[in-house]
A = this chain, B = another copy of it.
C-alpha cells in the first residue's frame, strides 16, 4: 500500500476502535491502551495521528458531525417547506442517534468532553444560525406565527429540541429519543404554528413519529405528509 493510503487506513481503524471503546466505556473510563488493542496498531502509530485521548475524542466528534451533515444534505437541499424539512431533519437525526454508533458516540462525547467542541473548534453554537434561518423561512411561508420574536423563538426552539436529545440520553439511554422529540415538537407546533396549520402539522408529526419508530426514515423530505 502507498504510504498515504496506509496512513489513512490506520487513522480510520483507530477512529473505528475509538468509537467502539468510547461508546462502551465513556470518555472517563476509556483508555488509549484499549483503543490501541482494538485497532490493532502500535502505540507509536496512534500517537502519530493523535496527541492524546482528548484529541482522539475530538476527532470522533468531528467525524460524527460530518456524517450527520452528509445524511441531512438531501433533506436541507430539497424544496419542501422549511418547517417540514426542519421537523424531518430532527426525526432523521433521532433515528441516526439511535442506530449509528458513530453518531451515538459523537453525541455522548460532546456531553462528556465538557466544552461541546470537536477538534476543529466547531461547536453546537454554529447550529443556532441554521435554526434561525429555518425559522425565518417558516415565518415567511406562513407556517410560523409572524407575531413571535425571531431571536426568542430561535433560542426557545433550539433549547427545547436539544433537550429532547439530552433528556433521552440522561433518562432513557436514547431508546426513547423519537418519543421525546414527538412530545417536544407537539408543544412547539401548538406554541408557534398559526391556527390554520395546527391540524396539518400535528398530523405531519404523527406520520414522522410513526416512520421514525419503524426505523425506516429516508433522507428525503420531498414527499409531503398529510
Contact = CB atoms under 8 A, between A and B. Distances in A.
Interface of A: 26-29, 53-54, 108, 110-116, 123-125, 128, 152-153, 155-164, 166-171, 179-180, 182-184, 186-188, 190-192
B170 A155 contact: no
A192 to B, nearest CB: 7
A184 B128 CA distance: 15
Given A28-B112, A163-B160, A171-B125, A183 B153 contact: yes
**A-B CB proximity, top 3 nearest:** A163-B163, A156-B183, A160-B160
Given A124-B171, A156-B180, 11 more contacts: A26-B114, A28-B114, A124-B170, A158-B171, A159-B163, A159-B180, A160-B184, A161-B163, A162-B167, A187-B191, A190-B190
B112 A187 contact: no
Contact of A159 (B29, B152, B157, B184): B184
Contact of A179 (B125, B155, B190): B155
A108 B116 CA distance: 12
Nearest to A151: B183
Contacts of A110: 170
Given A123-B170, A166-B166, A157 B27 contact: no
Contacts of A190: 190-192
A154 to B, nearest CB: 8
B171 A183 contact: no
Contacts of A191: 187-188, 190-191
Contact of A183 (B124, B152, B169): B152
A187 B108 contact: no
Given A123-B170, A162-B167, A184-B160, A27 B153 contact: no
A190 B157 CA distance: 13
